[in-house]
Amino acid sequence: MFPSESEDLFDLMGDRPDKPEEACGVFGVYAPGENIATLAYFGLFALQHRGQESAGIATFDGSTVHVHKDMGLVSQVFNEKILQELPGNLAVGHTRYSTTGSSRRVNAQPAVVKTRLGSLALAHNGNLVNTAELRDSLAARNCEFATTTDSEAIAIAIGQEVDSGLGWMEGAIRAFQQCQGAFSLVIGTPDGMIGTRDTNGVRPLVIGTLPGVPERYVLASETCALDIIGADYLRDVEPGEMVWITNDGLASFFWATQPEPKLCVFEMIYFARPDSKFHNDSLYSYRMRLGRRLAIETPIDADIVIAVPDSGVPAAIGYSQVSGITYAEGLIKNRYVGRTFIQPTQTMRESGIRMKLNPLRDVLAGKRVIIVDDSIVRGTTSRKIVKALRDAGATEVHMRISSPPVTHPCFYGIDTDNQSQLIAATKSVQEIADQIGVDTLAYLSEEGMLEATQDATQNFCTACFNGRYPIPVPALLKRSKLMLEKLEPATVGS
């Protein structure tokens, strides 16, 4: 796992990342006559921020499937020679950060399953909440598992339905109806490519088109993966929708009778790249609106506004625009520092921040500083940043967070701690301020966060802020993370 943005600042110093961690990125392209493996490579390259543990591509050349996957970043797993060995008309790709299933090569995706109609290759973003029940049901049908992932269980479920006599579309729909939780899927078959989202559309999935006659189609977690290969955004896959892409074009089917959109709002706040678009609006613009609203809700007198780079930058700029306080770079990020397994010296550990972020003393010295970030999960990173700012001469440090306090864990594809480890679940805002060492701390309101989306507020999952889980969570699974909640034995949902 190679965390993205500012959450990996102190992983090099031996601390766990202090941000929620995304599950995966998925990509698919149907483009006969094109170099599909190279297209998939660059699509995954654009989605690298969504998962850095492993990467994989499966291509279909008629009935033959070619697969290459391994641990590491996209650029480490693939090279020109490997891509040349992945021919075909259709490609499915995946970048992974593990939620269900440990970080091992065998769990790398796409998951490939053989059926009577040929092999299928499945790439999954999200997390099922009924994985145990699904695996038990499949085991009762004498299915064998090669991995510990919920993704493989979905692929095997499709294979079982196909082997029972159904076609690809019918078998896939029957399998989707057995799955509970969050899943955005791209599935390759010898006959075409499938894309689908769960009934709530918790994780994103978009459709793009490549220029040419006939039109060719692309599926991706975010629009930034379309941009990199020159594809045009067509639309989102809707919650509860399945698209079937073949040489005849794109067909759409709704397998869920009552879809209810609940896109993870953290996708917009933090996970997705700022140049990706949701609802025809760049996330950079949304994050600037968060900062503007934050300045209205939480004013404070100061000399400069700075950001925790890079994820806090748009909100910090928005805060500066509304407050009239000058925006400046106070922390310089070394963008070439990645994972290292060489242990830093004790002196380096004590310095804490400078491996990844270095404060600008001439900008900070003698200044009252507002520092803007997108979230606080455990508080360990924030505490070290604040100390570094004070060591650089800041006379006051005021932290502003462009989202509400994270008080509940996620069960839908984000790796968050047990509730007892979430700082906002156990401490008041003032207690958090005292622990991280700031003069003042303030969060954006949930109302402000949702209004800034400029969409219907009920269309988002906000469970990590309020505990209202849109998809019922089995009591045993829920109890494993909700350490502070009092749950009755039969309780499910919220």
Q: Are 455 and 479 in contact (CB under 8 A)?
A: no
pLDDT one-digit tens code per residue, 367-399: 999 999 999 988 988 999 999 999 999 999 999
What pLDDT, on the 0 to 100 scale, is given for residue 343?
59
Mean pLDDT of the chain: 89
pLDDT one-digit tens code per residue, 238-252: 999 999 999 999 999
pLDDT one-digit tens code per residue, 70-126: 999 999 999 999 999 999 999 999 998 755 445 567 889 999 999 999 999 999 999
* % pLDDT > 70, the chain: 87
Catalytic residue list: 24
Confidence tier at 12 by pLDDT (50, 70, 90): very low
What pLDDT, on the 0 to 100 scale, is given for residue 10?
37
Average pLDDT over residues 413-418: 76
* % pLDDT > 90, the chain: 76
Q: Which position has the higher pLDDT, 101 or 312?
A: 312
Confidence tier at 19 by pLDDT (50, 70, 90): low
Confidence tier at 443 by pLDDT (50, 70, 90): very high
What pLDDT, on the 0 to 100 scale, is given for residue 3?
33
What pLDDT, on the 0 to 100 scale, is given for residue 178?
96
The pLDDT of residue 230 is above 90: yes
pLDDT one-digit tens code per residue, 323-351: 999 999 999 988 765 545 455 676 666 55
What pLDDT, on the 0 to 100 scale, is given for residue 352?
60
Average pLDDT over residues 173-179: 97
Confidence tier at 1 by pLDDT (50, 70, 90): very low
Average pLDDT over residues 54-58: 96
CA atoms within 13 A on the CB side of 366: 1
Average pLDDT over residues 135-158: 93
Confidence tier at 470 by pLDDT (50, 70, 90): very high
Cα separation, 440 vs 62, in Å, equals 62
What pLDDT, on the 0 to 100 scale, is given for residue 420?
84
The pLDDT of residue 8 is above 80: no
Cα separation, 460 vs 468, in Å, equals 11
Cα separation, 43 vs 98, in Å, equals 20
AA identity, residue 116: R
The pLDDT of residue 491 is above 90: no
pLDDT one-digit tens code per residue, 281-306: 999 999 999 999 999 999 999 999 99
The pLDDT of residue 213 is above 80: no
Q: Which position has the higher pLDDT, 5 or 230?
A: 230
